[in-house]
Amino acid sequence: MLQVKHLVKRYTTKGETITALADVSVDFPEKGMVFLLGKSGSGKSTLLNVAGGLDSPDEGEVIVKGKSSKDFSKSDFDSYRNTYVGFIFQEYNILNELTVAENVALALELQGRERDEALVEKLLSEVDLKGCGGRRPNTLSGGQKQRVAIARALVKDPEIIMADEPTGALDSATGMQVFDTLKKLSAEKLVVVVSHDRGFAEHYADRIIELADGKIVSDVSRSEGESVYVNLTEGERELTVACGAAITEEETQKVVSFLKRHKESVTLTVGEKTAERSRAVFRATDLPPQPREEESGKFIRSAFPFRYALKMGLSWLKFKPVRLIFTTLLAAVAFIVFGVFSTLVTYSPVKLNASTLDDSAFSTGVLQKKGVVHSINEEGEPYDRNFPASPLSSLHFDARDVARLEEKYPEMDFVPVFSFHLDPLDVGFSMGSEGRGFYYSQMDFFNGFAEVDEIRQKTGFALSEGRWPEVATDSACEVAISRTMFEAFCALGFREETGASVLPISSFADLEGRNIFATVGVTRFCLKVVGVVDTEEDFSVYEYLKTASSATDAETSALRELYRYSFASIGIVAEDFYETYQENDLAPSFYRNEQENLQRDWWARNTTSYEEHPEEGILYSFLYTTLRKNRSARCLTLMKFHRTTDEARDIYYFTPYSFTDEIAAGDRTLSQTVPIVAPIAAALAVFSALLLFNFISASINAKRRDVGVLRAVGARGIDVFKIFMVEGFVLTSLCFLLGCCGSLAVCAVANAVLVGKGILAFGFF
């Protein structure tokens, strides 16, 4: 079943070529014990390894069950060992990561067979290792380890057993036991043993092949029937001659010399005819050249259970703990830098603005427009000094704006809010000021005005006191105020004129029909209160300021901003408020009187020459939308508008929240940081990849022996690869996990620091 033909194997080390096998051909018998004998370096191990498929020949072929190694694929060598060969080495090569039983069972499982505990236990007791299955190899003696290796070689019941100096590391008594075991096995199997001990060879071998310098120098087989009768049995002082034996000349000489040697009296007796005793007689092996066998037998491809890969991979990982910790930590640091960097790169100001608004206490979304006007046109001619015809028309988001935006963004509904000027209209002087609580003192202005129909359609706010405003004429401009502003009046009282005494307000009846005077700059504006509307605001985050008499600047501006960009600061006016004033120029008298001044003032402050600042010139107005529904989507849409331009209409959109400026400041820091961090992150990524690679390759190097053992047992390259995959996977997962936690921690710290500084610049993931 096993033939090798014209094998040549050369090794080249440092440019020097050694021919380990020079044209070796052997027909191995089906069973029996074949010894490969020879001096060290004569090529015995090489022949065994090539014949056993551990190594491939440079020339010649190995023929297994009629199949030539010339037709083998690389993995066929592995499958051949896996199927037919049990290897035993001098260095009882068993795997320290596995238990004794697992070492034995592994060979079985590599064949894709069930782990047979009973069989393993039986084999272990056959090699006198009963009950040792659960032990770790490093608790065994050398002889015991070798017997584990024998049990492993036997468990798959291979047709061939190959042993390379199996007793080399054992004392002679233990060695004898091993040979006895092998001898027993050779009754049914082919046992090939490499040895340099001629005594053992002659005692056990059926055939002895002697090698020298890579060539076969002798090939002898034990001859049958070469037994002799023992005619003389020599004792201390007694010589027994077998009864009726035909004494040879040689034996006569032996009797004479016995008598001569002993000066005192000796006994010469005639005993029974003794048993025959065989004597080692070897004759040249004389086999007729064997015909090539029919191809038979099938190779079993190894199936390496993942359990073992996992166990060994994990255990190999622990091989160098300091290096492991070092590698993991460094790679984790690299991951962290990389993670933080990737957050910088994937950072989107729009999303951050949106999520900041989403997370904030604002319950209203505000969009502002800035119309661009110039005092001088492109030809250098001054624009009409009366432009804008009315400040109101330019300040207003008109119906076209709103319709266009609502069509484009169906999830939104916008309430146009117009103000007479950039600054809020201060109603503060109509409120009392004695013993002002800090909280309500911040709710004393109108940020703008919205018409009642728009409010009712788009917000669904309910009237909580009085009625909706109906009249918007010069003499009687009606307004509904927010609950929040009403509460401020209740807290602070009402004052009709500067210097007048403060009327306490305890119910709506106390305020109903009274005129609130609002001012901005030099302009005064008169509004008659007819109702209170619940604008559903929630300022509870600043509730604590209700009892405080003062607050920090940050708290003050935050509370004012929260109030300003909410419907609470909007005066709700009658339907035709805007048109009435625009078309009929029916602005309240004080306003009309001031209009000239205001316009001049505005013109002076807000326009500029085209040449100096082609983009300059400012007119503002607002759109308010409630964030009580579709909050996240609305926040995102609003922020998509932020800092966008409608070129055709010379309009620039933005959201007025102060945090957007802080985020924009962060953007600039980021854009400066990225070019510095990017190469560092890339370098660290490469560095950590190298570290991991280095760790794995060091591990491969350190585990050569184990790899060799696995291969000898029949594992394919892919099986060994699995172990390193486990090792690599666990290692990278560990680094990745640490890296992720680290990145999160770094971002959390960065966020905390930046938020503490009032800079909401980082949004992780």
Nearer to ligand ADP by Cβ, of 208 and 586: the residue is 208
Residue 672 binds to ligand ADP (criterion: CB under 6 A):
no
Cβ at position 119, least distance to ligand ADP in Å: 32
Q: Are strands 425-426 and 445-446 parallel, antiparallel or unpaired?
A: antiparallel
- Told to check if 13 binds ligand ADP by CB under 6 A, we report yes
Binding test (CB under 6 A) with ligand ADP, winner from 5, 44, 147, 156: 44
Contacting range for ligand ADP; rule: CB under 6 A; set: 13-21, 79-87, 430-438, 582-590: 13-21
Shortest Å distance, C-beta 44 to ligand ADP: 4
Residue from 45, 186, 364, 442 in contact with Mg ion (CB under 5 A):
45
Q: Which is nearer to Mg ion, 45 or 566 (CB)?
A: 45
**Which region among 26-34, 40-48, 94-102, 744-752 touches ligand ADP (by CB under 6 A)?**
40-48
* C-beta closer to ligand ADP: residue 39 or 592: 39
Which of 45/655 has CB closer to Mg ion?
45
Shortest Å, Cβ 325 to ligand ADP: 35
Secondary structure string (H, E, C) spanning 633-702: HHHHHHHHHCCEEEHHHCEEEECCCHHHHHHHHHHHHHHHHHHHHHHHHHHHHHHHHHHHHHHHHHHHHH
List 42, 177, 221, 459, residue binding ligand ADP (CB under 6 A)? 42
For position 38 contacting ligand ADP by CB under 6 A, the verdict is yes
State residue 51 phi and psi, 5-degree precision.
Answer: -65, -30
Q: Which does 20 bind (CB under 5 to 8 A by kind): ligand ADP, Mg ion, none?
A: ligand ADP
Looking at 42-50, 182-190, 253-261, 405-413, which segment touches ligand ADP (CB under 6 A)?
42-50
> Distance from first CA to last CA of the chain, Å, rounded?
65
Task: Pick the stretch among 45-53, 311-319, 718-726, 750-758 that binds Mg ion (CB under 5 A).
Answer: 45-53
> How many CB atoms are located within 10 Å of the residue 206 CB?
18
Supply the angle between the helices 717-756 and 658-702 in degrees, to the nearest 10: 150
- CA distance to 82, 334, 719, per residue, from 716 (Å): 9, 35, 5
Q: Give me the sheet containing 238-242, strands edge to edge.
A: 232-234, 238-242, 267-271
**Cβ-based nearer residue to Mg ion, 45 or 69:** 45
**Closer CB to ligand ADP, residue 385 or residue 704?**
704
Please select the residue that binds ligand ADP; options are 8, 18, 169, 744, rule is CB under 6 A: 18
Give rounded-to-5 percent helix, strand, coil for the chain: 45, 20, 35
Taking Cα atoms as reference points, which of 362, 334, 365, 343 lies closest to residue 761? 343
Q: Is the dihedral of CA 332, 336, 337, 341 positive or negative?
A: positive
Six-digit token pair at 14? 């440092």
Binding pattern for the stretch 709-748 against Mg ion, x by CB under 5 A and - elsewhere: ----------------------------------------
Q: Please report how the helices 306-317 and 100-110 are oriented relative to each other, as an axis angle in degrees rounded to 10.
A: 130
Nearer to Mg ion, 20 or 127 (CB): 20
Asked if 711 is part of the footprint of ligand ADP (rule: CB under 6 A), the reply reads no
Looking up tokens 């945090």 gives 659
Exposure string (b/e) for 184-205, b if CB count within 10 Å is 16 or more? ebbeebbbbbbbbbeebbbebb
Angle between helices 717-756 and 74-84 (to 10 degrees): 110
| Binding of residue 41 to ligand ADP (CB under 6 A) | yes
CA triple 242-246-249, angle to 5 deg: 110
Task: Candidates 20, 98, 106, 532: give the one binding ligand ADP (CB under 6 A).
Answer: 20
Q: Which of 212, 490 has the CB closer to ligand ADP? A: 212
- Selected from 14, 15, 17, 40, the binder of ligand ADP by CB under 6 A is 40
Of 58, 102, 506, 65, the residue nearest 304 (C-alpha): 102
- Give which of Mg ion, ligand ADP, none residue 708 binds (C-beta under 5 to 8 Å, depending on kind): none
- 2-13 vs 59-64, strand pairing mode: antiparallel
User: Could you write out the DSSP letters of every residue in 480-496?
Assistant: EEEHHHHHHHHHH-B-S
Q: How far is the CB of 12 from Mg ion (least distance, A)?
A: 19
Q: Which amino acid, one-letter code, is at 81?
A: R
Say how far apart CA 589 and CA 526 lie, in whole Å: 10
Choose among 177, 179, 197, 168: nearest CA to 92.
Answer: 168
As measured in angstroms, the least distance from the Cβ of 56 to ligand ADP is 13
Shortest distance (Å) from residue 311 CB to ligand ADP: 29
Which partner in Mg ion, ligand ADP, none is near 739 (CB below 5 to 8 A by kind)?
A: none
CB of 210 to ligand ADP, least distance (A): 11
Q: At residue 426, what are phi and psi to the nearest 5 degrees?
A: -80, 115
Binding partner selected for residue 672 from Mg ion, ligand ADP, none, CB under the kind-specific 5 to 8 Å limit: none
The smaller minimum CB distance to ligand ADP, of residues 37 and 332, is found at 37
Instruction: Based on the shown chain and the rule CB under 5 A, indicate whether residue 93 belongs to the binding site for Mg ion.
Output: no
Burial class (CB within 10 angstroms; exposed 0-12, middle 13-18, buried 19+) of 297: middle
CA distance 360 to 76: 68
Per-residue b or e along 78-106, where b marks 16 or more CB atoms closer than 10 Å to that residue's CB: bbbbbbbbbbbbbbbbbbebbbbbbbbbb
Q: Using the rule CB under 6 A, is 43 a contact of ligand ADP?
A: yes
Residue nearest Mg ion, CB atom distance: 45
Question: Which three-class secondary structure state does DSSP give residue 418?
Answer: strand
From 41-49, 65-73, 481-489, 752-760, give the range in contact with Mg ion by CB under 5 A.
41-49
- State the minimum distance, in angstroms, from the CB of residue 197 to ligand ADP: 13
416 binds ligand ADP (CB under 6 A): no
Distance separating alpha carbons of residues 452 and 574, to the nearest angstrom:
6
Q: How many residues bind ligand ADP (CB under 6 A)?
A: 12
Q: How far is the CB of 164 from ligand ADP (least distance, A)?
A: 7
Q: Which is nearer to ligand ADP, 41 or 305 (CB)?
A: 41
Is residue 436 near ligand ADP by the rule CB under 6 A? no
Cβ-based nearer residue to Mg ion, 39 or 629: 39
Pick between residue 10 and residue 113 the one whose CB is nearest to ligand ADP. 10
Residue 73 touches ligand ADP, criterion: CB under 6 A: no
Q: Is 45 a residue that touches ligand ADP (CB under 6 A)?
A: yes
Strand order in the sheet with 2-13: 16-28, 2-13, 59-64, 67-68
41 binds, among Mg ion, ligand ADP, none (CB under 5 to 8 A by kind): ligand ADP
Chain center to CA of 106: 31
Interacting residues with Mg ion (CB under 5 A) = 45
Interacting residues with ligand ADP (CB under 6 A) = 11, 13, 18, 20, 38, 40-46
